[in-house]
Amino acid sequence: MEEFKKAVERNIAEYGFPVALDEKTGAMQWVDMRKLELSYLICIENIAPFFEGMREGKLLTTKCKRCGELFFPPQKDCPNCRVSEMEWVELKKEGVLETLTVVFVRPPSFAMHDPYTVAIAKLDDGVRITAWLRGDPRKVKPGQRVRVEISRRKEGYLMYELVPIEG
Amino acid sequence: MAVAVIGVGHTKFGNRRDVNVPELAWEAMKQAFDSANVEQKDIDFFVVGTAGLWSSEAAVPSLMAEYAKLGVGSMRVEAACATGSAAIRVGYTAIESGEADVVLVLGVEKMQESPNPTVIEIIGRFGSYFWEFENFGLTFPAYYALHATAYMAKYNATEEDFARVAVKNHYYGAKNPNAQFQKEITLETALNSPYIAWPFKLYDCSPITDGAAAVVLASEEKVKEWGIEEKVWILSQGVGTGTANLSKRETFTSLKSAAFAAELAYKKAGIDMDAPYKQLDGANVHDCFTAAEIIAYEDLRFAKRGEGVELIRNEQTYIGGRIPVNLDGGLKAKGHPIGATGVSQAVEAYKQLLSKAEAGRQAEIKNGRWLTHNVGGTGHYSYVTIYSLEKR
Ligand SMILES: [Zn+2]
């Protein structure tokens, strides 16, 4: 890739265009000079208590006041009742691991992390949660009891993770 | 109104840095026009399946209408990795409803216009972005790996079982001149490759691919009017949708949307739900990852729950077995240009049913029916289509 970029710079100066030959096929490529940088704004206004809860070490979510359905991740509206009368409840931070994977080939935006384990657990309240699993993934299997822990991640902000319960 | 595939086109899949997007798409379109023996003026409507983002062009239907001189209505369709089948659905329903008589469906993707890390970043977002990717970096192989792990734990399947799928699909890919990988592999090669997302290794994963495929669809009336002999009928199609967030699912050993789509398709085609493989000559299933093919055997009822793994262990999905699967190499060896995959499966159904597949990868055609199973995301969208030599 570095060689390729150098070739492009050389070709702009010498040949007059941002071009380079593809390493595999030898076919001439125009190298797009318009870089796209994306970063989105995602509204959390209606689920802000979830983040407030995390600041206090709690895992909060929404429950419909009418039908009683528990939602996780928290959501503003109940599709069953078609109303938005939700209450915030605290989830028990324990459950059972259902599945896991270890991400070796990471996206560039996760390059600062070592290979990480992502797991899905079913909490005792009945909802499922996806999060990173702390510890050696080889020592756990589906069926393992886990707890949810709020912790500060490398990037500096709060997040929750799954931690195996010993014994 | 019955709908037939009357012509097909398919480019070589793989690294296609030798052509740009319209040139690549035209390769498939030109072949489809030639094989259907139609002119541009015969086309009533034009559908393009392309997921995009990794490639430079966004307005592909218009770009192609200009390049190919098509002066009719068009639209772009997206359903993640099931984009091609969604495009076929639009064309099929346009004809079925009487809105159009002849439709060109193109699937095209030029994924290698972006470097691999960018592509990994983009595909990771085919789920529930905030709760899965933004915070936990679930990559696309990882989504399916969550299913593979659950399947292994529940049914005692092994990484070796998954590798057997790769060995089979490379075996047939080697006989397909349009495949990205035309090399057979051994079980050892597959098992010794590096981990991508445990339990998946490099050889459990489909590659990043450039490619295009096209089909010309026509109404029963047009088929009669033109006296078209070489054609296959679209007998039925079932569509299902799964939750965006995997944690909202009851099970990880099945894709509910695929089982749902299969039942719809079987019902409409009058196929026996208990042993559908007895009425089919073969299938193309969505093997973006090896374990996905095994789970597909079960969702499609080729095997009972937990017994899909026995089909691959006993080579029952090779030619001569219970039901041959992915004789074109599948996504695994043929390659997986996202928007083109579903259309490519239709091209394969056409070739197999008309006994036009290359030597060594042609199934025996007895029932005259072929199934395609195309999954977008991790069962976020599923399309099961049944192609047939006979109109119902
Ligand atoms: Zn409710």
Q: Which of A101, A132, A142 sits opposite B145 (nearest CB)?
A: A101
Q: Is residue B23 part of a domain?
A: yes
Judge residue A157's burial from the number of C-beta atoms within 10 Å of its C-beta, 0-12 exposed, 13-18 middle, 19 or more buried.
Answer: exposed
* Total tally of structural domains belonging to chain B: 1
Residues in Cβ contact with B44 at an 8 Å cutoff, skipping those fewer than 6 apart: B72, B94, B100, B101, B102, B103
CATH number of the domain within which B47 lies: 3.40.47.10
CATH number given to A93-167 = 2.40.50
B293 and B287 Cβ atoms separated by less than 8 Å:
yes
Tokens 């592909």, residue?
B60
Q: Is residue B261 part of a domain?
A: no
Give me the percent of chain A exceeding a pLDDT of 70.
100
CA B306/CA B283 separation, integer angstroms: 20
Tokens 């409507």, residue?
B45
pLDDT at position A4: 87
Task: For B57-67, write each residue's pLDDT tens digit.
Answer: 999 999 999 99
Q: Any idea how long chain B is?
A: 392
CA B136/CA B195 separation, integer angstroms: 18
Residue of A nearest to B137 (CA): A110
pLDDT at position A36: 87
Q: Is residue B284 part of a domain?
A: no
Give φ, ψ of A152 to 5 degrees.
Answer: -95, 125
Q: Is residue B243 part of a domain?
A: no
pLDDT at position B40: 98
Contact residues, chain A to chain B, C-beta under 8 Å? 1, 22, 24-25, 27, 29, 32, 42, 72-73, 98-110, 113, 116, 118, 120, 127-132, 137, 141-143, 159
- Asked if A42's CB is within 8 angstroms of B245's CB, the reply is no
Q: Is residue B26 part of a domain?
A: yes
Report the gap between the CA of B134 and the closest CA in chain A (Å).
Answer: 9
3-state helix, strand, coil in chain B (%, to 5): 40, 20, 40
- Asked if A118's CB is within 8 angstroms of B142's CB, the reply is yes
Domain boundaries, chain A: 1-34, 36-91, 93-167
Residue of A nearest to B132 (CA): A130
Residues in chain B with pLDDT values less than 70: none
Distance B281 CA to ligand 1 centre (A): 47
Task: For B226-278, write each residue's pLDDT tens digit.
Answer: 999 999 999 999 999 999 999 999 999 999 999 999 999 999 999 999 999 99
Q: Is residue B32 part of a domain?
A: yes
Which pTM was predicted? 0.97
Q: Is B170 a catalytic residue?
A: no
Q: Which of A104, A127, A159 sits opposite B197 (nearest CB)?
A: A104
Task: For B107-129, write each residue's pLDDT tens digit.
Answer: 999 999 999 999 999 999 999 99
Q: Is B336 a catalytic residue?
A: yes
Q: Is residue B60 part of a domain?
A: yes
Complex ipTM? 0.95
The amino acid occupying position A143 is G
> What are the pLDDT tens digits along chain A (167 aa)?
788 889 999 999 999 999 999 988 999 999 988 988 889 999 999 999 999 999 999 999 999 999 999 999 999 999 999 999 999 999 999 999 999 999 999 999 999 999 999 999 999 999 999 999 999 999 999 999 999 999 999 999 999 999 999 87
Distance B147 CA to ligand 1 centre (A): 30
pLDDT at position B1: 85
- Domain with B97, as residue range(s), is 3-114+208-226
Q: Is residue B382 part of a domain?
A: no
